[in-house]
Amino acid sequence: MLTIYGVYRSRASRNYWMARELGIPFTSVPVIQARRLADPLAADAPLNTRSPSFLAVNPMGLIPAIDDGGLILTESLANNLYLARKYGGPLAPADIVEEGLIGNWTMWAATEVEPHAVQIVLAYDGGIEETPEGRECIANCAQSLEKAFAVLEAHLEDRDYVIGDRFTVADLNLAEVFRYAMSQTALFDKHPRVKVWLARCQSRPAFKAMMEERLKEPE
């Protein structure tokens, strides 16, 4: 059985969403981020990214990680590509061309979008969004995202989804990366196709089920 390590309020959300889309059984091991604990190595500390038992799974001390029958993978977006390839169905690539495109779009999101979008999330998580430093950081990141948003906006001109005519793992991976920028409403309003596409992805029952579990966790 698939085991997913990580709380829902982390990049593990991508893997939880994917498992639900595929309809496969999984076990959730709620590993929390060590930075959220005063003493992650205390005897009574919950399982976290510095716990020796988790470091035995992922020595990098990062979540998520998955264990699929003994195969351990530790990169959230790559985890989803693997799950799509293994379990097939409409989320998986239909041929080698789609596989190449899905990989390309996923790596694009990881390199061109996430580094900026995640800084926006961290500014809000750190409570500095209204400070001069925080406002400058968010504004710079939003400006850096303009080009990527424009690229996806143009790509969606004559299609509802990123690849082919259906929702695939490419949409799921990109949607989870673009979600980090959702606080920047002006950026989405300027790119209406991206805004509608993200809403379409997030209307799926599997996403809603994942978010329901996420909202149960403490912030």
Residue 79 in this model has a pLDDT that exceeds 90: yes
Q: Is residue 219 very low, low, confident or very high in pLDDT (cuts 50, 70, 90)?
A: confident
CA distances from 158 to 17, 89, 155, 174 (A): 26, 24, 7, 18
Task: State the pLDDT at residue 164.
Answer: 86
Residue 99 in this model has a pLDDT that exceeds 90: yes
Both structure tokens of 191: 């790119």
Task: State the pLDDT at residue 157.
Answer: 96
* HSE-up (13 A, CA, CB side) for residue 106: 22
Both structure tokens of 65: 């990680």
169: left (phi over 0), alpha (psi -120 to 50) or beta: alpha
Residue 102 in this model has a pLDDT that exceeds 90: yes
CB 163 within 8 A of CB 96: no
Task: State the pLDDT at residue 62.
Answer: 97
pLDDT tens-digit profile of 36-59? Answer: 999 999 999 999 999 999 999 999
Residue 155 in this model has a pLDDT that exceeds 90: yes
pTM: 0.95
Task: State the pLDDT at residue 174.
Answer: 98
Task: State the pLDDT at residue 182.
Answer: 96
Structural domains of the chain in order of their starting residue, each with its CATH number = 2-88 (3.40.30.10), 96-206 (1.20.1050.10)
